[in-house]
Structure 1
Amino acid sequence: MDKDRFLTLFLKHERELAGIARAALPDWNAVDDVIQEASLVMWRKIDQLQADDEFIPWARMILRFEVLKYRRSCSRDRLLLDDDLVSLIAVESKDDPAEFVQQQRSAVRECLKRFSPDHQRLLLAPYTRDDAVKEIAEAAGKTANSLYKRLGRLRSKLHDCVRLQVGAAT
């Protein structure tokens, strides 16, 4: 593929790629960084691209690897989605990534309402501070390990609820 055609395709689909990246990254600055890195990789691998209709799957694959690379570099940040959810978003966001993300957010909000305030607090604790679960355990007179086990069960229930909500919306 020639460079002019690549640039045309990239510019045409840049917003779509940014939407996909935003679904997996914490903010727009990270999206900009990842899109820039992905575009450099694409530019270097331009010879792999043969036809216009191959651009989106090819670009998504490169973008996915760049997102994962960025996430590994920020792995200590607990506000990032886990890699399984990022993969799920990448697979299921084929039509309209912005709509899919909105459906996910709405489903999470609705499903969280079904949990007691204590369970909501526990579900959200790991995303606030590193030691939040430990503090909750100490305040409740329980071990952190027991709360992490409960957290795992609650996350599983939340995951099931979100899948049902998103499935019902499609």
Structure 2
Amino acid sequence: MNHERFLSLFIRHERELAGLARVMVPSWDAADDVLQESSVVMWRKIDQLQADEEFLNWAKVIVRFEALKHRRKLSRDRLVLSDELVSLIASEDIEQPCEHVADRRSAVQECLSEFSFEHRQLLLSSYRYTGGAAELAEQTGVSANSVYKKLGRLRSKLRSCVDRRLSLGIKSV
């Protein structure tokens, strides 16, 4: 496989690989580090890859090993999940078909579009700020408890919408 083809495939699947890394390590910074180290390993082992169709599973295995290596460095931290649990999560993700991820992403986007601008902003901002609901509460001038409750209701509504769309097989147009 040539380097241009590798770069094309890596860029196409980068979000999914980053998601896998994020599941396996405790922070986005750690996930970025794992993805960067994984890309270097992939680049070195590019000759192992025979077909484009093999890329995603091949890359996921490399990301998984790099994440486990990173986790060993963090093993002294009490808040890190056990290697067995992380391996179980990673193996389920590797076996999960890409279409399922794409369908779920599409369902989330469609469901989010059904929310008011204010509710959509609240849902999304809860993932953008590191301070969480307390920071959001301070910015909006309401109590943190109110923000927690409202986010809980909105997330429940979003989850129900996504589950409904996926169970009915509704695709975005």
In structure 2, what is the equivalent of residue 86 of structure 1?
86
Identity %: 63
Q: CA deviation at 1:15?
A: 0.4
Normalising by structure 2, report the TM-score.
0.55
Task: Give the superposed CA RMSD.
Answer: 1.9
In structure 2, stretches of 5+ residues that fail to align are 105-166, 168-173
Mapped to 1, the partners of 2:57 and 2:50 lie a distance apart of 12
Q: Which residue of 1 aligns with 2:16?
A: 16
Structure 1 residue 46, shift from structure 2 partner: 0.3
The Cα of 1:81 is off from its aligned counterpart by 1.1
CA separation in 1, counterparts of 2:67 and 2:25?
A: 8
> Does the aligned pair in 2 maintain the 1:21–1:63 contact within 8 Å?
yes
> What are the within-5 Å matches in structure 2 for residues 26-41 of structure 1?
26-41=26-41
In 1, Cα distance between equivalents of 2:11 and 2:65: 20
CA distance in 2, matches of 1:79, 1:38: 23
- Seen in structure 2, the aligned counterparts of structure 1 residues 26 and 97 have a Cα distance that, compared at 3 Å, is farther
Paired residues of 1:9 and 1:52 also in contact (CA < 8 A): yes
Shift of 1:92: 1.0
**Offset at 1:91?**
1.2
TM-score, length of structure 1 as denominator length: 0.56
The residue identity in structure 1 corresponding to 2:63 is: L
- SS class of match (1:13): helix
The aligned residue for residue 61 of structure 1 is 61
Give the whole-Å Cα distance in 1 for the aligned partners of 2:101 and 2:68: 17
> In the aligned structure 2, how far is the partner of 1:24 from the partner of 1:78?
15
Any stretches of 5+ residues in structure 1 without a counterpart? 100-169
Q: Which residue type is aligned with residue 14 of structure 1?
A: E
Distance 1:61 1:90, change over 3 A: same
Aligned pairs for 1:3-152 within 5 A: 3-93=3-93, 94-95=96-97
- Count residues with an aligned counterpart: 100
| Aligned residue identity for 1:35 | L
1:82–1:97: structure 2 CA closer, same or farther, 3 Å change rule?
farther
Structure 1 counterpart of 2:45, one-letter code: K
